[in-house]
């Protein structure tokens, strides 16, 4: 791993080739080395490695920890990255990960799949959305058709619609139309597809809330992609 990180962060290295505006940052390189050392220490079966690192804004922490994790994923290890919020999760996938993927492909010849992993309340319930629209007086037919088409063909993620159109239609509140833990299997079809996608990925970006819930249920937090468990309905 350390040879890989050197090739990535050195002056005139892989990052410089991929990003013409990139400038060598000694602190970023040292941060990446520290992350790499911790990960390597934890790879031995008898070891559990925990590291607490910090660096100032502008150091380049995102690439500093994602590059070592990318190397680990390229060796066949499944990787989970937990962020403070879904916003940071999306930022990691959209902005930072493509850079990591480009470097991994150039230096290691590996193509890795990174996906988000969020909770079911981030998904639209088709039934609740339909009930909401049916309760309206004279909703715009064109907007109804547009929303229905998205429900039929999109991921079902509320954020996906918001990214495309700015807000849910008809002043829908996300909490009023989202999926709930005890919905039927058909209601959770989009969420189930989301789970399967996460299980098949090499790298999963999730959030701290989901990770903490995972730990609270006594399961292995190192693999938050495998959340097929559904809670039983209280008696």
pLDDT digits (tens, 9 = 90+) for 129-163: 999 999 999 999 999 999 999 998 888 999 999 98
Instruction: Specify the pTM.
Output: 0.83
67 and 131 together in one domain: no
pLDDT, position 50: 85
Same domain, 35 and 87: yes
Together in a domain, 62 and 115 = yes
- Statement to judge: residues 131 and 110 lie in one domain: no
Is 225 within a domain? no
Helix/strand/coil for 189 = helix
In a domain, 224, yes or no: no
Side by side, the strands of the sheet bearing 114-116 are: 79-83, 203-207, 114-116
Residue 15 CA: distances (Å) to CA of 3, 83, 94, 205: 14, 24, 17, 22
Look at the block and give the residue holding tokens 């493509």.
98
Average pLDDT over residues 106-126: 93
Q: Do both 195 and 101 map to the same domain?
A: yes
Please tell me whether residues 148 and 98 are part of one structural domain.
no
What is the number of structural domains in the chain?
2
Domain of 207, CATH number, reads 3.40.50.300
What is the domain range of residue 172?
124-178
Residue 42 burial (CB count, 10 A) = 14
Q: Does 222 map to a domain?
A: no
Q: Is residue 89 domain-shared with residue 57, that is, in the same domain?
A: yes
> Mean pLDDT across the chain, nearest whole number?
88
Q: 22 and 100 in one domain?
A: yes
What is the per-residue pLDDT for 234? 40
């Amino acid at each position: 791993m350390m040879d890989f990180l050197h090739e990535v962060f050195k002056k005139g290295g892989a990052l410089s080739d991929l990003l013409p505006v990139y400038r060598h940052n000694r602190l970023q390189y040292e941060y990446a080395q520290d992350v790499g050392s911790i990960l390597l220490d934890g790879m031995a079966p008898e070891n559990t490695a925990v590291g607490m690192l910090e660096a100032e804004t502008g150091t380049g922490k995102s690439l500093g920890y994602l590059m070592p994790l990318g190397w680990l994923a390229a060796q066949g290890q499944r990787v989970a990255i937990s962020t403070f919020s879904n916003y940071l999760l999306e930022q990691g996938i959209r902005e930072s990960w493509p850079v990591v993927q480009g470097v991994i492909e150039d230096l290691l010849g590996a193509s890795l799949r990174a996906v988000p992993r969020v909770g079911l309340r981030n998904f639209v319930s088709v039934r609740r959305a339909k009930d909401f629209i049916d309760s309206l007086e004279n909703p715009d037919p064109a907007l109804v058709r547009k929303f229905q088409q998205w429900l039929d063909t999109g991921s079902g993620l509320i954020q996906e619609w918001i990214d495309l159109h700015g807000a849910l239609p008809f002043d829908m509140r996300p909490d009023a139309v989202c999926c709930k833990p005890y919905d039927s299997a058909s209601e959770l079809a989009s969420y189930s597809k989301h789970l399967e996608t996460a299980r098949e990925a090499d790298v999963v970006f999730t959030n701290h809330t989901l990770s903490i819930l995972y730990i609270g249920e006594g399961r292995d937090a190192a693999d938050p992609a495998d959340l097929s468990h559904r809670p039983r309905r209280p008696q």
